[in-house]
Structure 1
Amino acid sequence: MEEQQQAGQAESKIGKKGFKDFVKLIAATNPPKLILIIALILTLIQTTAGLIVPLMTKGLIDGLTMSALNKSVIFLLLGAFVIQAIASGISIYMLNYAGQRVVATLRTKLWNKVLSLPMPYFDRNRTGDTMSRITNDTSQIMTLIADYLVSFVSNIVAVVGGVALLFYLDWVMSLIILSLVPLTLLILLPVGRKMYKISKKQQDEMAGLTSVLSQVIGEIRLVKAYGTEKQEAEAGDSRIGKMFAFGLQEARILALIGPLFTFVMTAVLVVILGVGGMRVASGLLSPGELVAFILLLFQVIMPMGQFTTLYSRLQKVVGATERIQAILAHEEEPRHSTAIAPKGNETITFNNLHFSYVTGEEVLHGINLTVPARKVTAIVGPSGSGKSTLFSLLEQFYLPESGSISYGGQAITDYSLASWRSKIGYVSQESPLMAGTIKENMTYGLGREASMDEIRQAAEMAYSSAFIDKLPQGYDTEVGERGIKLSGGQRQRIAIARALLRSPDILLLDEATSSLDSTSEHEVQQALSNLMEGRTTVVIAHRLSTVVDSDQIVVLEQGHVTGTGTHAELISNHPVYRELAQKQFVAQDGKPDSEPE
């Protein structure tokens, strides 16, 4: 029993904190206050007109005779209806405008926040979960604002004003009605807590389903190639089944609330008709007052029913707010306050660098390495040795646990992040492209308008102009999602053209030719030669034949630098490199101890 009380107190605290967080979240979006105030005033006018109608009806019924009608009352009644309709229509539009505006601002804040989050966030959180925060959770907030928030105030006015008028008409029957309010609250509060739990689980499942869908659809070729449609269908069905189960739980609650309030309303109406009929018969109440009392009663009961819906909706929004706040409160990438921008082409130095993705599982152990300016440095070593991690640290996707990386003697963390990354051109094995045209992909992230002459020149240097010119739409050809309409070699050359337009001082090549056939590899290598000219280049390669002419080769093993030198030097003094070279060159030539000239 004590545990249940503690759980109830905890839930109450969560509810209060969640509501405060929701108010703070809305305030942070700078909602259109004037529009909300006007909508509120119009809603109050609509509510007041609605309360006046029963009183006018009383006068109309009590003054009704067969010979004459009170025309002034009829005109006032019609005027009240017209005012109510106009005020309602305008306020509904304004509330929806305000709701859409708040949610658009919130989605913009969330989207900008997501783009500024560090890479570890994306390592830990599924894409679909983040998408669900921006779309589904914000939609919950919009529904609350547009449909319930301001009407909540008008409902309070309707209830308070309606109750006051009920007491004015007949205090005995009013007391009978008020005796049912505690019973309503006893039903409302536990139901609201239950709805909060269900809606939170439902939103989590929705995020999980979004993740499954985005992952499977994004890799649909893999799914079909390996015949895993049934397996993925079962995974999706499981998520959908759980959402269905939570939906049924929510439906059961709503199915309980609806008939319960209908029963209460019907019971109250029967009691009022019975008691009211006796009071009319005894002369304590006029027929018009009884009709007015019943009309006012409905105007009080309907808002009270909406309070139930509002409460359950608010519980849903509290859950959505918690998840949105978790993203907004997340630490962003370090945006260095200094205005220093790196200049020229300088030496890059790794100073006693230590790094772990997971605490206690170090990936790089005290890396000391110098990358000379305008030279080619190749990093070789077995898979999992930390080669790509060095690139990620150099691009400041992650920060080292200890040690530093300097550029021309200045720590790279002293430079503004945007200016540092603008110095780097990156060409990877996958060569990611965005959905859009070839031209849009070549100029992606350029930060300035590029002329067609510049674009064509970059394409020629990247050995991509020949295949682009053969396409029906040329540079306006759509590449498809992730560049699926182009071959691997074509994507690589578009990525190289993009790097050429960027004209970086530092070039990072991550297995840039490893997945290509010999013809494509030859063309891409020629394009890379143009790109590497006069730049500080760092190459990751598994195939030593592509890097034997590098100015410096670094051997990385299990997060340690175990050798540095030219190909000839490492062949003579590094056993692991020599063994690796012999295996690869034997495999290529079919003859032992064969090396490229």
Structure 2
Amino acid sequence: MTEPTLPETGMKIYLRLLTYVRPYLIAFFLGIAGFILYASTQTGFAMLMEYLVDAIGEEKKDAYIYGPLALMGIALARGVGTFTGNYFTSYVARNVVHQLRLVMFDKLLVLPMQYFHDNSSGHIISKISYNVEQVTEAATDSLKISIREGATVIGLLGYLIFLNWKLTLIFAAVSPVIAVVVIVASKRFRRLGHRIQDSMGDVTHVASENVDAVQVVRVFGGTDSEKSRFSAASKQNLRQSMKMAVTEALSTPVVQLIVSGALALLIFFALHPVMNTGMSAGEFIAFITAAGLIAKPLRSLTEVNGAIQRGIAAAQSIFELVDQTSEPEAGDFKNQECKGRIEMKDLHFSYIQDKPVLKGLDLVVEPGQTVALVGRSGSGKSTMANLLPRFYEPSSGAILLDGKPLSAYELKNLRDKIALVTQNVVLFAGSIRDNIAYGATSGASDEEVIAAAEAAHVMEFVSRLPQGLDTEIGEKGTKLSGGQRQRIAIARAILKNAPVLILDEATSALDTESERHIQAALENVMQGRTTLVIAHRLSTIENADQIVVMDQGKIVEQGSHTQLLALNGAYSALHNMQLSEEKEQPNSAVERQEISE
């Protein structure tokens, strides 16, 4: 992350942050009015001290009435001002943070896949959770203190000038010294703010990895190493936080000492026999009281500087995410009646420059055909499938759907035409029904959901559950077995009823019996749909219209199962190898974990 180097950068970021305040300007100004009312009571208290001291010296008979009434009036005004200021600024700030979270989340949903490869999930989540709370601090407490204490300082300074402008100039002479302290501290606060956010991202990253991989960590004896890794990340966060604490702890007493020195100098000049201030006893007490009252708001303004700088650093991190380029929408063509003809022309693709994954692929899939992609790991099968929904853009060449390049399609319209089942099944916390009828199909009828569940053999285990399709499956479907989760994902694809179907190792988590049932269901589902099947087990794709054998990003063989066996080439070698493995190690049913009642 690039740290800001120019002095005005922080102000620009803060001003951009304040643009989110525009929808709440009325509440914002009400909050400011409340704090101005609060600030006026500080000056009012100093004026009350002048009145009371002069009243005692002049023996004013009505002072016993007006003095207490004025004190109660000041207290009431302070209470109203405090409530109004705190409530409305909090209302504005929390709404700003809410809007920022929505903007960030909306952006995450349209960022290119490359962004998620370049940034860990821990750091991304940290931006939405931790960094945005730093903005909250800058937008709530910091804003409240800045307005309230700033208005107090202005009010008290105005009153000091009214009482004796010469003494006030002496007091104001310390302002440049305070400004230097604040500027030096600000730079360090901003720098440390960036480091704290990065270290917090590391903590979140390590923690989220261990939550997701808890079984692997325990089985492979990684507990100690993961403890060390988390401890190192947390210690780095601790070190940066303590550096911030030291800076805050030093800057505050330094400013307080400077203000106290100025106050002592005031008293020296005011009481010196040579200095004739011409002030009454009441005015002198009021002057010293007002000067003393300035110390606290000045100290608060110095303390709040750290939170503001952390908020600016956090806002910069947030705006870096918001300013990322979204997925290219490119075209606006909408295919209302997609036939499903796919054509790849001289297709090249690289995740990393000069390291091609696909090298000049040419392939035609006619509407309704089932094409199986086979080959070793890393041969480019899944990459080819990922290019169809435009998760990535080809480096060169083109993919055509019904004769039009994918780049000509409106992105949403293109993806409406595609259903996807991957090896790594994604389920959401909720019921089985919610996960089958997900997203665009959430309005599907019970009959449609049940039909899809039947076709994917989901009802086979759902029928034994007390709540049926309304059974909660837990986060990521943890209450289900791998095979059950995969069948739900297949049912989701069946319900979508898209003309193009991508099955990326869709039966990998199924036992032999379930796979046989699912295979039969998939064969029915694939009728009339263009289907790309990425398969490791060759026995599952023997009936495909075409089998495409890939190696190192190229198509090395292509044809039906019978044709490829007759070639006695790469496919035949893979087929014979799997046959020998199956003979040596017979299939055994995968243990299935049923949902507890």
Q: TM-score, normalising length from structure 1?
A: 0.92
TM-superposed CA distance for 1:237, in Å, is 0.4
User: Equivalent of 1:219, from 213, 222, 227?
Assistant: 213
Q: Which residue of 1 aligns with 2:487?
A: 493
TM-superposed CA distance for 1:301, in Å, is 2.5
In the alignment, the residues of structure 2 paired with residue 119 and residue 502 of structure 1 have an alpha-carbon distance, to the nearest angstrom, of 23
In the alignment, the residues of structure 2 paired with residue 554 and residue 309 of structure 1 have an alpha-carbon distance, to the nearest angstrom, of 67
Q: Which residue of 2 aligns with 1:585?
A: 579
Moved over 4 A (4+): 10-13, 277-283
Is the Cα–Cα contact under 8 Å of residues 30 and 84 in structure 2 kept in the other structure?
no
Is the Cα–Cα contact under 8 Å of residues 348 and 370 in structure 1 kept in the other structure?
yes
| Counterpart mapping for 1:193-592 below 5 A | 193-278=187-272, 284-336=278-330, 338-573=332-567, 575-589=569-583
In the alignment, the residues of structure 1 paired with residue 547 and residue 315 of structure 2 have an alpha-carbon distance, to the nearest angstrom, of 52
TM-superposed CA distance for 1:28, in Å, is 4.6
Matched AA of 1:196:
R
1:59 maps onto 2:37 in alignment? no
Encode CA deviations 1:206-232: one digit per residue, 9 max, x unaligned: 111111111111221221222211111
In the alignment, the residues of structure 2 paired with residue 483 and residue 441 of structure 1 have an alpha-carbon distance, to the nearest angstrom, of 9
In the alignment, the residues of structure 2 paired with residue 285 and residue 237 of structure 1 have an alpha-carbon distance, to the nearest angstrom, of 63
TM-superposed CA distance for 1:292, in Å, is 0.9
Matched AA of 1:68:
K
Is the Cα–Cα contact under 8 Å of residues 371 and 545 in structure 2 kept in the other structure?
yes
In the alignment, the residues of structure 2 paired with residue 532 and residue 404 of structure 1 have an alpha-carbon distance, to the nearest angstrom, of 25
Is the Cα–Cα contact under 8 Å of residues 355 and 364 in structure 1 kept in the other structure?
yes
TM-superposed CA distance for 1:80, in Å, is 2.5
In the alignment, the residues of structure 1 paired with residue 479 and residue 386 of structure 2 have an alpha-carbon distance, to the nearest angstrom, of 28
Structure 2 unpaired stretches of 5+: 586-597
TM-superposed CA distance for 1:385, in Å, is 0.5
Encode CA deviations 1:442-489: one digit per residue, 9 max, x unaligned: 111234412222222211111111210101221121212221211122
Is the Cα–Cα contact under 8 Å of residues 347 and 408 in structure 1 kept in the other structure?
yes
TM-superposed CA distance for 1:259, in Å, is 2.5
Matched AA of 2:110:
S
In the alignment, the residues of structure 2 paired with residue 480 and residue 11 of structure 1 have an alpha-carbon distance, to the nearest angstrom, of 41
Is the Cα–Cα contact under 8 Å of residues 248 and 306 in structure 2 kept in the other structure?
no
In the alignment, the residues of structure 2 paired with residue 330 and residue 164 of structure 1 have an alpha-carbon distance, to the nearest angstrom, of 47
1:180 maps onto 2:182 in alignment? no
In the alignment, the residues of structure 2 paired with residue 473 and residue 527 of structure 1 have an alpha-carbon distance, to the nearest angstrom, of 25
Stretch moving more, 194-203 or 520-529: 520-529
Matched AA of 2:533:
V
Is the Cα–Cα contact under 8 Å of residues 131 and 318 in structure 2 kept in the other structure?
yes
In the alignment, the residues of structure 2 paired with residue 20 and residue 33 of structure 1 have an alpha-carbon distance, to the nearest angstrom, of 19
Encode CA deviations 1:556-591: one digit per residue, 9 max, x unaligned: 111111121111211222522222222222333469
Encode CA deviations 1:243-297: one digit per residue, 9 max, x unaligned: 1111221121122123223333443444444444456997833222222112211
Do the aligned partners of residues 214 and 261 (structure 1) sit closer, same or farther apart at CA in structure 2, a change above 3 Å counting?
Answer: same
TM-superposed CA distance for 1:234, in Å, is 0.7
Aligned residues: CA RMSD: 2.3
SS at match of 1:537: strand
Do the aligned partners of residues 351 and 114 (structure 1) sit closer, same or farther apart at CA in structure 2, a change above 3 Å counting?
Answer: same
In the alignment, the residues of structure 2 paired with residue 283 and residue 160 of structure 1 have an alpha-carbon distance, to the nearest angstrom, of 23
Percent identity, aligned pairs only, is: 32
1:24 maps onto 2:16 in alignment? yes
Q: Which residue of 1 aligns with 2:30?
A: 38
| Counterpart mapping for 1:122-133 below 5 A | 122-133=116-127
User: Equivalent of 1:191, from 167, 185, 188?
Assistant: 185
Is the Cα–Cα contact under 8 Å of residues 505 and 535 in structure 2 kept in the other structure?
yes
SS at match of 1:499: helix
Matched AA of 1:16:
E
Encode CA deviations 1:327-362: one digit per residue, 9 max, x unaligned: 111111122451523523231101111100001111
Q: Which residue of 1 aligns with 2:112?
A: 118
Is the Cα–Cα contact under 8 Å of residues 338 and 402 in structure 2 kept in the other structure?
no
Q: TM-score, normalising length from structure 2?
A: 0.92
Is the Cα–Cα contact under 8 Å of residues 502 and 532 in structure 2 kept in the other structure?
yes
1:148 maps onto 2:154 in alignment? no
Is the Cα–Cα contact under 8 Å of residues 145 and 301 in structure 2 kept in the other structure?
no
SS at match of 2:394: coil
Do the aligned partners of residues 142 and 293 (structure 1) sit closer, same or farther apart at CA in structure 2, a change above 3 Å counting?
Answer: same
Stretch moving more, 443-452 or 320-329: 443-452
In the alignment, the residues of structure 2 paired with residue 394 and residue 413 of structure 1 have an alpha-carbon distance, to the nearest angstrom, of 10
In the alignment, the residues of structure 1 paired with residue 220 and residue 184 of structure 2 have an alpha-carbon distance, to the nearest angstrom, of 49
Residue-pair matches, total: 582
Is the Cα–Cα contact under 8 Å of residues 29 and 106 in structure 1 kept in the other structure?
no
Is the Cα–Cα contact under 8 Å of residues 349 and 368 in structure 1 kept in the other structure?
yes
In the alignment, the residues of structure 2 paired with residue 545 and residue 373 of structure 1 have an alpha-carbon distance, to the nearest angstrom, of 24
Is the Cα–Cα contact under 8 Å of residues 58 and 291 in structure 1 kept in the other structure?
yes
Matched AA of 1:251:
A
Q: Which residue of 2 aligns with 1:595?
A: none
Matched AA of 2:306:
S
In the alignment, the residues of structure 1 paired with residue 4 and residue 346 of structure 2 have an alpha-carbon distance, to the nearest angstrom, of 51
Do the aligned partners of residues 63 and 16 (structure 1) sit closer, same or farther apart at CA in structure 2, a change above 3 Å counting?
Answer: same
Do the aligned partners of residues 558 and 451 (structure 1) sit closer, same or farther apart at CA in structure 2, a change above 3 Å counting?
Answer: same
In the alignment, the residues of structure 1 paired with residue 240 and residue 26 of structure 2 have an alpha-carbon distance, to the nearest angstrom, of 39
Matched AA of 2:247:
I
Do the aligned partners of residues 176 and 377 (structure 1) sit closer, same or farther apart at CA in structure 2, a change above 3 Å counting?
Answer: same
Do the aligned partners of residues 49 and 221 (structure 1) sit closer, same or farther apart at CA in structure 2, a change above 3 Å counting?
Answer: same
SS at match of 2:463: helix
Is the Cα–Cα contact under 8 Å of residues 145 and 300 in structure 2 kept in the other structure?
no
Is the Cα–Cα contact under 8 Å of residues 48 and 158 in structure 1 kept in the other structure?
yes
Matched AA of 2:52:
L
Matched AA of 1:60:
L
Is the Cα–Cα contact under 8 Å of residues 494 and 525 in structure 2 kept in the other structure?
yes
Stretch moving more, 216-225 or 357-366: 216-225
Is the Cα–Cα contact under 8 Å of residues 347 and 372 in structure 1 kept in the other structure?
yes
Q: Which residue of 1 aligns with 2:85?
A: 91
User: Equivalent of 1:68, from 45, 61, 69?
Assistant: 61
SS at match of 1:63: helix
Is the Cα–Cα contact under 8 Å of residues 492 and 524 in structure 1 kept in the other structure?
no
